[in-house]
Structure 1
Amino acid sequence: MTTRLSARAALAALADPGSFTELTVPVREYAPDGPLGWAGYDDSRERAAARTGESESVVVGTARVGGRDAVLVSFEFGFLGGSLGERTGDRLEAAYAHARDRRLPLVSLIATGGSRMQEGMLALTQLQRVARQSALTRAAGLPQVAVLRDPTTGGGWATLGAGADVVLALPGAQVGFAGSRVRPADADPAAYTAEAQYAAGFVDAVVPPEDLPAVLGTWLRLLTSPHPGPAEPPAALGGVPPGGPARTGWDAVQQARNPARPRAAAYLDAYFELRLPVHGDRAGGTDPGMLCGFGLRAGRTVAYAAQCGTATRPAGYRTAARLIRLADRLGVPVLTLVDTPGAANDAEAEHAGAGAAIADAFAAVASATVPVTTLVIGEGGSGGALALAAPGRTWVTPDSYFSVIAPELAAAILKRPTSEAPTTADQLRLRPEDLVTLGIARGVVPPPGTPA
């Protein structure tokens, strides 16, 4: 279990010194013992106020984090377990409205056990208020970042937490919809942790407390500094292959399959000054063969989704689609790097919804209003590669190919022997130069320092 900071201590640990200004929110008037007349509720509130120095379970205001202005929401777990009641909802609604009025990102520092029992269904409906405010803020094109403290459970996790654009968590924090008192008796406690939620693709990063101010400040910079116009394609790190440009289609295939060829991570490191990943598909899956996130290029932000040379799994496509849609809402251009022999086609991939996931990636690229730029850096295998390719803004490297399907599989479909795969590769016209001639690619990108 992590150390539980008070709401104001959590704010002080993140905000630039002296920058926090609390919002003034009108206080809702209640009859004695609250809206339900719950005997002893007033006494419980008074004890909580005396213990914490707060009049409600959340503190809201504006501050700078890493020099970036933001609206901050910080939960006070010591006040009735950080639970949400009507007055909590008033403060949260005010914070969201202020973020929209001032065009500021909203950061939630969550530590809550869920809805407040003493206010019954009126407390539970605060989740609808939060969801509505989050949707309005999302529609306004403003980023929302959640920091999961200990504990983050119930409706706080299911709205402010899991509904954020970027989700960070403190190590060891209890995170899950079911709080410790309502889980099955035989439930594994390890399943309800920040680390477990990260492994399942619901958390973007688990960040040690001492690193959180810098990481959060960088995220705010990335999410609020979009690059103007389309991203330019990266230079070809592999350069022209030692034997020169591919003379045949089969040569192009072999060059793209060279294990020494530069992969996505090398391209991203060369292209960006710094970058931070988004992790997971928010549906219980991750794919290490798909790198997604935001990076700084010449001081401005570009989003990226990059295949790593493996067969892309459904979770990879869903993560890429999530990244592209988030970038689109924030006005951030997107760079995609294509490098896959094709989509994963094993039984597990089919059970995980391979077709639907690929369709989602196609739809995300097709519907993006920000420019999407694509560079094929290796294998471009069938629809599994095309799903990330931008129509009209795709480039290729000299050591790549793009094909309707791998030559070996094309030969099999055409009922040809395996020995005819090289001939089939030539007929498919999959070389970089062929792709330019066919109008599939806009050009072959040169190595660094080579005139275009």
Structure 2
Amino acid sequence: MTDTPDVPDVPDVPEVPRFTAREAIGLVAADFTELPAPTGAYAPDGPLGWQGYDASRARAVARTGEEESVVCGTATVGTTRAVLISFEFGFLGGSLGERTGDRLEAAYTYAREQRLPVVSLVATGGSRMQEGMRALVQLQRVARQSVLTREAGLPQIAVLRDPATGGGWATLGAGADVILALPGAQVGFAGSRVRPPDADPAAYTAEAQLAAGAIDAVVGQQELPGNLALWLHLLSRPSTTPAAPPPALGRAGLPATGRDAVDNARAPRRPRARAYLDAYFTHRASISGDRSGGTDLGMLCGFGEHDGRTIAYAAQTGTATRPAGYRTAARLIRLADQLRIPVLTLVDTPGAANDEEAERQGAGAAIAELFGAVAAARTPVTTLLIGEGGSGGALALAAPGNTWATPDSYFSVIAPELAAAILKRPASQVTATADQLRLRPQDLVDLGLVRGLVSPV
């Protein structure tokens, strides 16, 4: 099995290489056909009449051989044809001007007409000062094209080169469905010359953005072609057939009592989410982070290949799920729904994290967001309960009407220990309370709460 790790390793930051637009294209694709550039000319010295702007552009053309700060065309990445947008940082810092906006709009339009995914190889310092607000409003054009492409059900992937700052990061970069970055790349809304003088440079790196949940992976130059090819392969295959629930990997016998069911689900050696994902998928690639400043290592999300189809997955690993985990799972389900890719969720948590920090991070709102994403999904969602199903923190990830259970699992409105405490029962009554809750997997079938039990292979 080939696999990108669920928790990406953060490499040591080397000296960051810089590539021209065409060198960056050459990193990921062997063939490239440039799209015709839209016609149009600037007024002398641009829309603001900025003295010397024409001369600056002429020097940029002579230095780079490019007519603008982006090169747009089509190429085959792995086995998938895609539209590539590559920034030329040597052309006025890869800045966005009106003619840049024309090229980006034309590239996105072509992608929608030809039903192709969009890959942006981003290296930019922001909007072009010599064009003033006429340059800045190009970000609105880019945002509109991205939305139209998303509504068309086409994936957008960004690869962050060095640097990826300003409006280019805040639209083509941060607005992509999946965001990859080269090691050590400078990434942030504020470029190096406009940050506070005491700002920590380490906070404006790909590695820092990964830790903050803003990007999905830091990928080395050698691994980038295969990683990008895998992502395009996985995200470009819609399907309407629900994911089949995985077979059970643990014990086959059903628990005799509620206490037995709880003990089985809490057993340290019970198979966990990674074992189920490894057995189910031949290839997979993970997303990371909630795009709001958080990550949760206890929620594994991504896309994988199963029986020749792409299936999205969101899987709890047996820990208390944090707000960032719920938001990441909601992000995963919304993306899968947009791309019409079926979803598999694996439920295994004692419940939602309930510490002070979780409350500060909006635990209730995050759980509500996930409930809403599952309820709104038009793509089919399948759930397998593989361990503990602790209250609403577990139910938020479960598919109504299409949830299955393994023999070594349980689902309960609340843990039996907590139920006994709320009812003011002594500890000796926990076992009886577990039976009263009817939380065994066979009870869940009888109650109509799960469709059935899965058996070992």
TM-score (norm 2): 0.96
Contact 2:240 2:380 in 1 (8 A): no
> Please, which moves more after superposition, 25-34 or 256-265?
25-34
Work out whether 1:320 is the aligned partner of 2:329: yes
> Alpha-carbon deviation of 1:239?
2.9
For these two proteins, the number of residue pairs brought into alignment is 443
What residue is the counterpart of 1:14 in the other structure? 28
Tell me whether 1:289 sits opposite 2:298 in the alignment.
yes
**Which amino acid in 1 is paired with 2:221?**
P
> Which position in structure 2 is the counterpart of 1:215?
227
Q: CA deviation at 1:26?
A: 2.1
- Tell me whether 1:399 sits opposite 2:415 in the alignment: no
Cα deviations across residues 180-202 of structure 1 (Å, max 9, x unaligned)? 00000000000000000000001
Q: Which residue of 2 is the match for residue 197 of structure 1?
A: 209
Q: Distance in 1 between matches of 2:181 and 2:260?
A: 47
Shift of 1:228: 4.4
The gaps in structure 1 that reach 5 residues or longer are none
Letter of the 1:37 counterpart: G
Structure 2: how far apart are the matches of 1:184 and 1:27? Answer: 40
How big is each residue's C-alpha offset from its partner over 1:151-208, in whole Å with a ceiling of 9 and x where there is no partner? 0000000000000000000000000000000000000000000000000001101000
Distance 2:334 2:228 in 1: 21
Question: Counterparts of 1:227 and 1:273 in 2: how far apart (Å)?
Answer: 18
Match of 1:252 among 238, 261, 267: 261
Instruction: Tell me whether 1:363 sits opposite 2:372 in the alignment.
Output: yes
1:372 aligns with 2:381: yes
* Partner Cα distance (1:169, 1:30) in 2: 33
TM alignment of 1:35-74, pairs within 5 A: 35-74=47-86
Give SS of 2:436's match.
Answer: helix
Partner in structure 2 of residue 231 of structure 1: 243
Indicate the residue corresponding to 1:426 in structure 2: 435
How far did 1:25 drift?
A: 2.1
CA distance in 2, matches of 1:129, 1:245: 58
Aligned equivalents of 2:66, 2:37: Cα separation in 1 = 14
The one-letter code matched in structure 1 to 2:66 is E
- Superposed counterparts of 1:312-351, under 5 Å: 312-351=321-360
Q: Which residue of 2 aligns with 1:170?
A: 182
Asked if 1:446 is matched to 2:455, the reply is yes
Q: 1:121 aligns with which of 105, 129, 133?
A: 133
Secondary structure at 1:209 match in 2: coil
1:73-152 equivalent positions in 2, closer than 5 A: 73-152=85-164
AA partner of residue 70 (structure 1): A
Aligned counterpart for 1:303 among listed residues 289, 302, 312:
312
SS of aligned partner of 1:380 = strand
Report the equivalent of 1:28. 40
Secondary structure, in 3 states, of the residue corresponding to 2:134? helix
Q: Is the 8 A contact 1:226 1:302 kept in 2?
A: no
Q: Deviations over 1:41-89 (max 9, x none)?
A: 0000011111000010000001100021000000000000000000000
Matched to 1:34, the amino acid is: G
Q: Report the CA distance between 1:418 and its aligned residue.
A: 1.9
Q: Secondary structure at the match of 2:428?
A: helix
Is residue 266 of structure 1 aligned with residue 275 of structure 2? yes
Secondary structure at the aligned position of 1:335 is classed as: strand
Quote the Cα distance in structure 2 between the aligned partners of 1:158 and 1:442. 44
Secondary structure of residue in 1 paired with 2:442: helix
Asked if structure 2 preserves the Cα contact closer than 8 Å seen for 1:302 and 1:335, the reply is: yes
1:294-346 C-alpha deviation (Å, 9 max, x unpaired): 00001210000000000000000000000000000000000000000000000
Question: What RMSD over aligned residues (CA atoms) do the two structures have, in Å?
Answer: 0.7
Contact 1:257 1:379 in 2 (8 A): yes
Q: Give the structure 2 partner of residue 3 of structure 1.
A: 17
CA contact (8 A) 1:152 1:176 kept: yes
Q: How far does the alpha carbon of each residue in 1:383-442 deviate from its partner, in whole angstroms, 9 at most, with x for none?
A: 000000001100000000000000000111111112211110000000000000000011
* 2:11 matched residue in structure 1: none
Which structure carries more relative contact order (alpha carbon 8 Å, separation 6+)?
A: 2
1:334-390 Cα offsets, whole Å, 9 max, x none, are 000000000000000000000000000000000000110000000000000000000
User: 1:302·1:333 contact (CA, 8 Å) conserved in 2?
Assistant: yes
1:40 Cα deviation (Å)? 0.3
SS at match of 1:119: helix
Q: Structure 1 residue 384 and structure 2 residue 388: aligned?
A: no
Report deviation, 1:227: 4.2
Q: Secondary structure at the match of 1:210?
A: coil
Please tell me the residue identity of whatever aligns with 1:53.
Answer: G
Q: Which amino acid counterpart does residue 394 of structure 1 have in structure 2?
A: T
> 2:217 is aligned with what amino acid?
A
